[in-house]
Amino acid sequence: MALMNFGGVEENVVTREEFPLAKAREVLANETIAVIGYGVQGPGQALNLKDNGFKVIVGQRSPSKSWDKAVRDGFVPGVTLFSPEEAMQQATIIMYLLSDAAQIAMWPTVQKHLTTGKALYFSHGFGITYKDRTGIVPPKDVDVFLAAPKGSGTSLRRLFQEGKGLNSSFAVFQDATGHATERCLALGIGIGSGYLFETTFQKEVYSDLTGERGILMGALAGVMEAQYNVLRKNGHTPSEAFNETVEELTESLIKLVGENGMDWMYANTSTTAQRGALDWKGPFRDATTPVFEQLYAKVAAGEEAQRSIDTNSQDDYRVKLEAELAEIRDSEMWQAGKTVRSLRPGR
């Protein structure tokens, strides 16, 4: 690991130069990696590992849409695709990539296959951090660690195919073999991470839950709705309101911010835009800081975790979820967005 300076603060990071793919292959040469769950993160991580030359198998229930997807992705039933129990029996590393609610439900089965020396891998600190709520307490004689890509499994796969990488955090919760860190880093490199930065299970889940509910999804959706509604209330058309609220952000500005930073964006806009953005940044920060503080406090107290466990484990969860998603999808704002996207050249 190397110390890197981030805004004046030094952090431990691992790059592909320090831990090349050849070293990762060497570390995991005698390991059988079982990906349990083929939903959000499973496909991207499994396929990247497979393409990088690791021995990876998938454990998935059949019949299911996820089983069928794994077959379409090239995993062969009875050879590299098995039931979860069969895959875990063969594995030396179990990549536990089910949803948080599904991890709780399957945990008694997983425990049976965590024999001495095996490793249990996560891409989220939820199950371990909130163990009093999830019941996920690994035996002491196995390694427990995580590599958490900072994005969706779809993005992880797409960037891998483009020869790029998605940054990931990593953490070791339990080192039973004395090799947990190198196993963890090897998997982090194997799944296609751009670089890996060190954290803990607790910090990973606190930042992740805050980010998902905050700027990445909840806050973003909320402020978009607020601006769109104000524009519409003042007589602007749906097309104008959507383009000024969403399209310009997603199709232009945010990509430039990602490439060059917000300071560059400010420096390369009109003087009118510069002045307005600088003047209004503070009021928006001050207005939302109390909401973020309340959010973080609820995450740290376990309230957000419990709400997820309670709602996502209900029998009618999918029905209720679809109703909530339909409300967003059918709103004027996102119906306008559907039309805008259809009018993009080349679409």
Nearest CA to 87 out of 44, 46, 26 is that of 46
| CA atoms 284, 287, 290, 291: torsion sign | negative
Judge contact between 36 and 98, C-beta under 8 A: yes
Q: Where are the alpha helices (DSSP H) in the chain?
A: 21-27, 42-51, 65-72, 84-90, 100-112, 126-129, 131-134, 153-161, 180-190, 201-213, 218-233, 238-242, 248, 254-260, 262-267, 271-300, 303-312, 317-329, 332-342
Choosing from 113, 124, 179, 236, the catalytic residue is: 124
Q: In the CATH hierarchy, which fold is given to the domain comprising 2-200?
A: Rossmann fold (3.40.50)
Three-state SS for 15?
strand
pLDDT of residue 227: 98
List per-residue pLDDT tens for the chain, 347 residues long. 788 899 999 998 999 999 999 999 999 999 999 999 999 999 999 999 999 999 999 999 999 999 999 999 999 999 999 999 999 999 999 999 999 999 999 999 999 999 999 999 999 999 999 999 999 999 999 999 999 999 999 999 999 999 999 999 999 999 999 999 999 999 999 999 999 999 999 999 999 999 999 999 999 999 999 999 999 999 999 999 999 999 999 999 999 999 999 999 999 999 999 999 999 999 999 999 999 999 999 999 999 999 999 999 999 999 999 999 999 999 999 999 999 999 999 86
pLDDT of residue 216: 95
| Helices 42-51, 153-161: crossing angle, 10 deg rounding | 30
Residue spans of the domains in the chain: they are 2-200, 211-342
pTM for this model (two decimals)? 0.94
Told to judge if 124 belongs to the known catalytic residues of this protein, a careful annotator would answer yes
Judge contact between 217 and 308, C-beta under 8 A: no
**Omega before 139 cis (within 30°)?**
no
pLDDT of residue 2: 84
Which amino acid is located at 221 in the chain? A
Judge contact between 124 and 208, C-beta under 8 A: yes
CA dihedral defined by 204, 207, 213, 216, rounded to 10 degrees? -100
pLDDT of residue 54: 98
User: CA-CA distance, 4 to 116, in Å (whole number)?
Assistant: 36
In this structure, what token pair is assigned to residue 50?
A: 């497979």
User: CA-CA distance, 117 to 98, in Å (whole number)?
Assistant: 22
pLDDT of residue 347: 66
Q: Count CB atoms within 10 A of the CB of residue 209.
A: 22
How many Cα neighbours within 13 Å face the side chain of 234?
A: 8
User: CA-CA distance, 52 to 46, in Å (whole number)?
Assistant: 10
pLDDT of residue 115: 98
Nearest CA to 28 out of 101, 119, 150, 148 is that of 119
User: CA-CA distance, 302 to 241, in Å (whole number)?
Assistant: 38
pLDDT of residue 297: 98
Q: What are phi and psi of 126, to 5 degrees?
A: -55, -60
